[in-house]
């Protein structure tokens, strides 16, 4: 597949959501529209690449299911690929729906990729303005996919092309209709690991500095065991190694106290913190497949004072 790197990352993430929606029961997060943004050829290519890569992930599973490629794919997606993206998306959208009842009027998705929230919730089109922030190339790619799938762009969806990890600008959002005086909900998922601690602190501060009290953010972060924990079938170690090999190494991990102090310095209080054990109990309890909460990964909902 000749795609730029950011689009490929978005495709793989969408693949995980599409696979879960089609094959897994019960659903943790049912993105039933993800499949519409991936071509059959791309789905097949990603599937084959994952199956071919099983020897890196688990030699025992490779040998055990050498004649059962679908079981190998299930193992890779459920153990390595999908647990964190599925659970954090479910958590984030659950929080957002609750925040809507508390007066949130704007939703800013940082690193939106091929997110389908506004298309899965057309009933909210007149209740919330949605601002998707991502690389220009990724957004162009998404627009083409939506057009090819015959989706109509709702009036409350706004695309903000920006590398927010380098320099976030509230003015870019304002130009597209963002109102700084309105209560806002931010999501920052799958990003914090790739920024330094200082970059994380600066970004969170800039995001929440202009919005009113009661605005909030949901994000995930890795705890201080990130670089020593191996995890089930070495999946944490694999994640760190794959990130490094791709040229985007993981740069930061935090103790809870460090996260609390970082947020406090930006005028935020932790409203809810989900540890890996809590995530497992909340989203993966009593499953009979391979899915389980990823070690070292935590979720935070922080609110501006």
Of 149, 193, 152, 191, the C-alpha closest to 18 is 149
What's the alpha-carbon Rg for the chain, to the nearest Å? 19
Burial 138-169 (b: 16+ CB within 10 A, else e): bbebbeebbeeeebeeeebbbbbebebbeebe
CA atoms within 13 A on the CB side of 31: 26
Q: What is the pLDDT of residue 1?
A: 33
First to last CA, the chain: 46
Q: What is the pLDDT along the chain (305 residues), one digit of tens a residue?
A: 344 566 788 999 999 999 999 999 999 999 999 999 999 999 999 999 999 999 999 999 999 999 999 999 999 999 999 999 999 999 999 999 999 999 999 999 999 999 999 999 999 999 999 999 999 999 999 999 999 999 999 999 999 999 999 999 999 999 999 999 999 999 999 999 999 999 999 999 999 999 999 999 999 999 999 999 999 999 999 999 999 998 999 999 999 999 999 999 999 999 999 999 999 999 999 999 999 999 999 999 999 99
Reduced to 3 states, what is the DSSP secondary structure of residue 179? Answer: coil
Tell me what pLDDT residue 3 has.
45
Determine the 3-state secondary structure of 220 from DSSP.
strand
**Which residues are bridge partners to 221 per DSSP?**
298
Say how many CA atoms lie within 13 Å of 15 toward its Cβ.
Answer: 24
- Tell me what pLDDT residue 250 has: 97
C-alpha to C-alpha distance for 16 and 130, rounded to whole angstroms: 23
- The CATH topology of domain 83-304 is Rossmann fold (3.40.50)
Confidence at residue 4, expressed as pLDDT on a 0 to 100 scale: 57
- Can you give the pLDDT at residue 5? 62
Other C-beta atoms lying within 10 Å of the C-beta of residue 48:
12
Structure tokens at 63: 């040998």
* Torsion angle defined by CA atoms of residues 192, 24, 112 and 159, in that order, rounded to the nearest 10 degrees: -170
pTM of the model: 0.96
Cα separation values, 15 from 38, 91, 137, 145, 175, Å:
7, 19, 19, 14, 33
In the chain, CATH 3.40.50.150 sits at 83-304
Residue 8: what pLDDT? 82
Query: Tokens 């994640």 identify what position?
Result: 239
Detail the DSSP E strand segments found in 148-215: 157-161, 184-188
Query: For tokens 């959208």, what's the residue?
Result: 93
**Which DSSP letter does residue 80 get?**
I
The residue whose two tokens read 């922080």 is 302
């Amino acid at each position: 597949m000749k795609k730029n790197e950011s689009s490929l990352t978005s495709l793989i993430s969408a693949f995980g959501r599409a696979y879960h929606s089609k094959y897994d029961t019960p659903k943790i997060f049912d993105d039933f529209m993800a499949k519409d943004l991936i071509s059959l050829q791309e789905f097949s290519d990603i599937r084959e690449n994952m199956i071919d890569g099983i020897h890196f992930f688990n030699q025992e599973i490779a040998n055990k299911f050498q004649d059962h490629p679908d079981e190998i794919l299930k193992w890779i997606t459920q153990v390595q690929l999908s647990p964190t993206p599925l659970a954090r998306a479910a958590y984030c959208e659950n929080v957002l729906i609750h925040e809507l009842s508390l007066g949130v009027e704007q939703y800013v998705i940082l690193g939106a990729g091929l997110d389908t929230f506004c298309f899965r919730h057309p009933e909210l089109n007149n209740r919330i303005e949605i601002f998707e922030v991502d690389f220009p190339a990724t957004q162009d790619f998404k627009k083409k996919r939506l057009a090819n799938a015959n989706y109509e762009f709702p009036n409350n969806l706004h695309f903000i092309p920006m590398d927010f990890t380098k320099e976030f600008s509230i003015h870019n959002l304002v130009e597209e209709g963002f109102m700084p005086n309105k209560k806002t909900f931010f999501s920052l998922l799958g990003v914090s690991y790739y920024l330094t601690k200082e970059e994380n602190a600066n970004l969170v501060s800039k995001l929440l500095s202009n919005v009113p009290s009661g605005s909030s953010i949901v994000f995930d972060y890795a705890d201080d065991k990130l670089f020593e924990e191996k995890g089930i079938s070495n999946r944490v170690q694999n994640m760190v190694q794959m990130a490094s090999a791709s040229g985007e190494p993981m740069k930061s991990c935090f103790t809870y106290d460090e996260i609390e102090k970082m947020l406090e310095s930006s005028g935020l209080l932790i409203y809810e913190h989900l540890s890996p054990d809590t995530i497992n109990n909340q989203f993966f309890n009593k499953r009979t497949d391979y899915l389980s909460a990823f070690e070292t990964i935590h979720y935070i909902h922080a609110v501006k004072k």
